[in-house]
Amino acid sequence: MHRRRTQEALRDRDDLRTLRAILPFVWRYRGRAGLALACLVAAKLATVSVPVALKGIVDALDAAPGEAVLPLGLLLGYGALRAAQGMFNELRDAVFARVRHGAVREVSRRVLRHLYDLSLRYHLERKTGAISRDIERGTRSLSSLLNYAVFSIIPTAVELALVGAILVVRYDLRYLAVTVVAVVLYVGYTVLVTEWRMRFRHRMNAMDSKANTLAVDGLINYETVKCFNNEAYELARYDRTLAEWERAAVRTQTSLSALNFGQGAIIAAAVTAIMVMAAQGVVAGTLSLGDLVMVNAFMLQLFIPLGFLGMVYSQVKHALSDMEMMFRLLEEEPEIRDRPGAPALVLRRGAVRFEHVHFGYQPERPILHDVDFEIPPGARVAVVGPSGAGKSTLARLLFRFYDVQRGRILIDGQDIRAVTQASLRAAIGIVPQDTVLFNETIYYNIAYGRPDATRAEVEEAARLAHLADFIASLPAGWDTVVGERGLKLSGGEKQRVAIARAILKRPRILIFDEATSSLDSASERIILEALAEVAAARTTLVIAHRLSTVADADQILVLEGGRIVERGDHAALLARGALYAKMWALQQQEEAPVAVRAGGSSE
């Protein structure tokens, strides 16, 4: 029991924290929100005045035969109040629309911006499907919560206060007592049952997010699923999760039925008690027939929206639960931050220096050990070595996706941790080994390197990357959509798009991370010539597995176990006869049979 109370207290605290997180997004529209509330109060004043007018009409008509007078003024007033009620409600809706949709837009933008600010480590560990579903549910729930607050909760509270005031002034306190007791019982019952139901809702949401994650991951890895013939396996995992979701959803619905029945019983009992008292007053002569009609109208106006308040409370709790997951994303702290007042990187010549760098993705598992080298302005330095030696880590550190544990990285003498990330990354272009494209056109994906580039510049970048003929051969040409993650293009075609994108960016510093790994030998020679042209007069870091692609580099660094074990140009490293020479000899042996087969096939 104590544990349950503790959990409920924590949930209440989370709900309050979520409500506080919403306030800044609504506060910017406080003028409109205030006007909407004024319209709401005006609408409710008109609403509670309707039964008063109805009482006057009934009393005027309930006269002795021949004495009744047509209460034309009251009838016209009754119609005017009905019209005013509708007018102010619609005006409230129109005024508040900007508040509701504006807040949703701002929250959506803020969450997405925050996700972009989070570190690469977070995004490598995240589950995209679950995050997208949390954002979707959170923004939808924010809109619903504001809707419920202005259109259900506050109007009902205002109407309850106005009706209570009229009952106190005009009738016996018993009427108010019955109304208050009914409302207290109703709210108490609703809160208790809804809190009990929430664990089913939480379980349902968790399984919904998990099922969505499984579906998205399976579709993103469509080729892998098909290659291993694992459609049935993926469907079984998905269905097991949906079975858990189904059980939670059924319990959610059955508990909702119990909630609705109890609420209906309380309302029925209260209305019956009020009507019995009013009827007794009419019989005793202390109340008129108009009083009976007015009290009945009040109860109907009050308890009809109160009947929906139970559903609203339940939906509000669900909305707060959904929004909590979204706002937790905003509480994630970025691992990499700009220092307060950090200046932009000042590029002069584009010299890069790794100065005694130590780094590990986890402190207990170091990757780089005392890595120290320099890339002079306009020079081309290559890093080679066995898989897992830490080559690609150098590119991630230069982009400052991670900070080094010891040592520092300098560009033109400036520590990259002391300048803004935006200015640092604007100075660097990369052609990655695994090129991921947007599910957009080829033109969009190339132009992404510099969105303000002219069409002529985009086409020139494609020509330099030897993509122009390929694009011309496509039925849709530049408007060809490449598919999710570039699925419709081959590995070589995707890498050429990445090369064109890097060319268009015009960076001072270039990184080629296995940039030709998906190309055949003939295409590789053409692309290498293009890259040489692009890299001219630019500081270039080349990360390579195939040594033949970096034989002409100004300097070659051999990385093994996170340490630089050799450095020098191609000829000097071969003459040394150490690791580089062994790797070269091994690759020559591996490529010789391929060359023989290629030569034989051309005859």
pLDDT in tens, 355-370: 999 999 887 788 999 9
Q: Given a cut of 50, is residue 392 above it in pLDDT? A: yes
Q: Given a cut of 70, is residue 602 above it in pLDDT? A: no
Query: Does residue 413 form part of some domain?
Result: no
What values do phi and psi take at 230, rounded to 5? -110, 25
pLDDT in tens, 195-211: 787 778 778 888 888 88
Average pLDDT, the chain: 82
pLDDT band at 69 (very low <50, low <70, confident <90, very high): low
How many angstroms separate the CA atoms of 600 and 596, rounded? 6
pLDDT value for 598: 46
Find, among 85, 88, 54, the residue nearest to 71 by Cα. Answer: 54
- Give per-residue burial for 422-439: e unless 16+ CB within 10 Å, then b: ebbbebbbbbbbebebee
pLDDT in tens, 257-266: 888 888 888 8
Residue 256 contacts by C-beta under 8 Å, 6 or more apart in sequence?
197, 314
* Residue 562 C-beta-side C-alpha neighbours within 13 Å: 13
Highest mean predicted confidence (pLDDT) among 278-292, 440-454, 519-533: 440-454
Ranges 22-31, 370-379, 391-400, 436-445: which has the least confidence = 22-31
Entry field: residues in the chain: 603
Q: Given a cut of 70, is residue 310 above it in pLDDT? A: no
pLDDT value for 597: 47
Q: Which residue has the higher pLDDT, 66 or 19?
A: 19
Find, among 350, 457, 462, the residue nearest to 410 by Cα. Answer: 350
pLDDT in tens, 166-178: 777 777 788 888 8
Q: What is the DSSP letter of 150?
A: I
Which pair of structure tokens corresponds to residue 200?
């089913």
Query: Does residue 409 form part of some domain?
Result: no
Q: Given a cut of 70, is residue 403 above it in pLDDT? A: yes
pLDDT value for 78: 78
Query: Does residue 442 form part of some domain?
Result: no
Residue 46, H or E segment? helix 30-61
Q: Given a cut of 60, is residue 508 above it in pLDDT? A: yes
Residue 570, H or E segment? helix 570-576
β-strand 509-513 against 368-375: which pairing, if any? unpaired
Q: Which residue has the higher pLDDT, 191 or 384?
A: 384
Query: Does residue 34 form part of some domain?
Result: yes
Q: Given a cut of 70, is residue 119 above it in pLDDT? A: yes
Which pair of structure tokens corresponds to residue 374?
């320099």
Q: Given a cut of 50, is residue 161 above it in pLDDT? A: yes
Q: What Cα–Cα distance (Å) separates residue 172 from each residue in 47, 176, 277, 300, 357?
A: 22, 8, 10, 19, 84
Query: Does residue 547 form part of some domain?
Result: no
Highest mean predicted confidence (pLDDT) among 86-90, 260-264, 402-406: 402-406
pLDDT value for 595: 47
How many angstroms separate the CA atoms of 54 and 165, rounded? 18
pLDDT value for 434: 79
How many angstroms separate the CA atoms of 482 and 462, rounded? 15
pLDDT, mean of residues 566-578 = 91
Q: Given a cut of 70, is residue 245 above it in pLDDT? A: yes
Range of the domain at 250: 2-331
pLDDT, mean of residues 500-508 = 88
pLDDT band at 75 (very low <50, low <70, confident <90, very high): confident
Ranges 440-454, 502-516, 587-601: which has the least confidence = 587-601
Which pair of structure tokens corresponds to residue 4?
């349950």
Which pair of structure tokens corresponds to residue 515?
């940039």
pLDDT band at 390 (very low <50, low <70, confident <90, very high): confident
Q: Given a cut of 60, is residue 507 above it in pLDDT? A: yes
Helix H, strand E, coil C: the string for 89-133 is HHHHHHHHHHHHHHHHHHHHHHHHHHHHHCCHHHHHHCCHHHHHH
Number of domains in the chain: 1
Query: Does residue 378 form part of some domain?
Result: no
pLDDT, mean of residues 95-122 = 83
CB 553 within 8 A of CB 570: yes
pLDDT value for 10: 45
Find, among 504, 490, 406, the residue nearest to 446 by Cα. Answer: 504
Q: Given a cut of 90, is residue 411 above it in pLDDT? A: yes
Query: Does residue 462 form part of some domain?
Result: no
Burial class (CB in 10 A: 0-12, 13-18, 19+), 446: buried
CB 569 within 8 A of CB 401: no
Ranges 5-19, 26-40, 164-178, 281-295: which has the least confidence = 5-19
Where helices occur in 467-544 by DSSP H, the ranges are 468-473, 491-505, 521-535
Q: Given a cut of 60, is residue 253 above it in pLDDT? A: yes
Which pair of structure tokens corresponds to residue 29?
């529209």
Query: Does residue 367 form part of some domain?
Result: no
pLDDT value for 66: 55
Q: Which residue has the higher pLDDT, 75 or 530?
A: 75
Where helices occur in 171-230 by DSSP H, the ranges are 173-220, 222-227
Q: Given a cut of 90, is residue 601 above it in pLDDT? A: no
pLDDT value for 102: 84
Please report, as a single letter, which amino acid is at residue 406.
Answer: R
pLDDT value for 171: 78
Give the CATH number for residue 91. Answer: 1.20.1560.10
pLDDT value for 284: 79
Q: Given a cut of 80, is residue 460 above it in pLDDT? A: yes
